[in-house]
Structure 1
Amino acid sequence: MSTDSASSPSRKDKREARAAKAAAELEALRKKQARKSILTVVAVVVALAVIVGGLVWFSLSRSDDSKITAVDAGSSEHGLVIGPDDAPRKVVIYEDFLCPYCGDFEAATREDLAELAADGKVQVDYRPFVLLDQIGPYSELATSAFAVVQQEAGDDVAKTFHDLLFENQPSESGPFPDAADLVDLAVEAGAEESAVKDGIENLEGKDWADAATRAAADDGVRGTPTVLLDGEQFLEGNSMEEIADNLIQQIS
């Protein structure tokens, strides 16, 4: 009677095969965990870089007021003004549409500044410029689009567009709105699409944005937001929320 015992795997062979398979699975798991750990470390480093970068920009915005030599509110060729010329208090705000601290400050002050300007208590001069161009093209695109909207649709629509840009502000890490998205926001603000579409898509406001950026640099502005009250840099507070609250209290 013939048998297959010579060709069949022994119990020892089976144990060794199972052990080898288990070892291979364990090694694969270790490699997967190692890759996951590396990705986690990278993610933490990137997050810290963004935080540190943001803190640097916030620190830079707290410039020595002796270095700020801005022209008076309402006197710049590169701004958007709300409130009367004879208002007793004057506020100038240098901002970048991508700057998260500008977004925080704008959200904390928009309604109050609008009401105070309407009551004749303050004149506010918003001065957008391009600071964060090292991150990507969005700052330039948004500032150029703002210039196009202001020129083609007027200050009231430009102010609404300005507010919408901050309401829809992207993260510094993206993804970023494109020109078509900004055309849609301009139309939502009240601009005629036919009046602003080509200008926004072709960066026709770039010369204005470049000039505004040079003017901010010439004024001594090194960070955003930089806020001036009656010609002096306003730094009362340790956060954007505190600075915003203290500013509104002083001019109310």
Structure 2
Amino acid sequence: MANPPKKPGRSRAEEKAAQQARREARREKAARQAEALARERARRKLKERLIVGGVVLAVIAAIGGIFWYQQAKDSARENAAVPANITDEFALATGEDDAPRTVEIYEDFLCPACAQFELATADMLDKAAEDGKVQVKYYPIEILGQYGDYSKDAANAFAVVLDKSGPEVAKKFHDLLFKEQPAESGDLPDKDWLIDRAVEAGAEESEVRPGIEDGTFDLWVENATEHAFEEGVTGTPTVMVDGERFEGGPAELAALLG
């Protein structure tokens, strides 16, 4: 390729020097651009690492927080207050320990089917227990919490009454809660309503109000519910006769118990 014409007044040596200077300028510019690009790439990589690191730390923190919360909750449940006058940690028992038959009933105070079963069998079971034919164990649990706090509040109130007023009053309170059971839909009764029913069953308001209002046995209710699940309970009412699941109705149960 022919060399560009020399500019007037410049010697060949000057022209070569000018060309060399232009080449050096282009190389320096290219070097600066490459350096700037490298810095930008490094900055982006650092930013990406910080973002990823931040996400990882957040995940670790979240996992740690969940783990800590679960550990704290498990510890609290392990040390949950247990009501006095309880049988097998979670039940109210009626009838003698040496009765020839045992009936266990897992129930939620908001469960309509539980109320139907209780109303149909209460007199029969009470008489069978009184006659020494059976020991009946009532296990209140909470499986209808999706409707609000009533299930847990009622089970806690039951535990408070059992603790403060004894098994006889607790059984009356138990029966009253099913006789006056609220509907799942709509506004559910508050703790004052539960206190009124406890007093109606024979409890002293001054003795049961603090525990019902404060949820003294809420963790016990959670433990009772977990125990029920471990026993294979998947719904309420679940009835066990002599340790075996009973699938019949009130008439079949009466016939079985004689």
- After TM superposition, the score normalised by the length of structure 2 is 0.66
Name 1:123's counterpart in structure 2: 135
Partner residue of 2:231 out of 219, 234, 249: 219
1:184 is aligned to 2:175: no
Partner residue of 1:203 out of 207, 211, 215: 215
User: In terms of Rg, which structure is larger?
Assistant: 2
Please state whether the residue corresponding to 1:131 is helix, strand or coil.
coil
Name 1:92's counterpart in structure 2: 104
Task: Note the alpha carbon deviations across 1:105-141, whole angstroms, 9 max, x for none.
Answer: 0000000100010000011000010010011111011
Q: CA deviation at 1:75?
A: 5.6
Unmatched 5+ residue regions in structure 1?
Answer: 1-73, 237-242
Partner residue of 1:158 out of 170, 174, 181: 170
Contact 2:90–2:224 at 8 Å: present in 1 too? yes
Contact 2:158–2:170 at 8 Å: present in 1 too? yes
Name 1:168's counterpart in structure 2: 180
Contact 2:87–2:93 at 8 Å: present in 1 too? no
1:249 is aligned to 2:247: no
Q: CA deviation at 1:250?
A: 0.8
- After TM superposition, the score normalised by the length of structure 1 is 0.67
Structure 1 vs Structure 2: percent identity of aligned residues? 53
Task: Note the alpha carbon deviations across 1:63-109, whole angstroms, 9 max, x for none.
Answer: xxxxxxxxxxx962101000111111110000000000000000000
Partner residue of 2:145 out of 100, 124, 133: 133
Q: Residue type of the partner of 2:253?
A: L
**In the aligned structure 2, how far is the partner of 1:184 from the partner of 1:142?**
12
Name 1:143's counterpart in structure 2: 155
Q: Which has the higher contact order (CA 8 A, sep 6+)?
A: 1
Q: Residue type of the partner of 2:114?
A: C
Q: Residue type of the partner of 1:184?
A: D
Please state whether the residue corresponding to 1:134 is helix, strand or coil.
helix
> Number of matched residues?
173
Partner residue of 2:115 out of 103, 114, 119: 103
Structure 1 vs Structure 2 CA RMSD: 1.1
**In the aligned structure 1, how far is the partner of 2:99 from the partner of 2:130?**
10
Unmatched 5+ residue regions in structure 2?
Answer: 1-85
**In the aligned structure 2, how far is the partner of 1:191 from the partner of 1:208?**
20
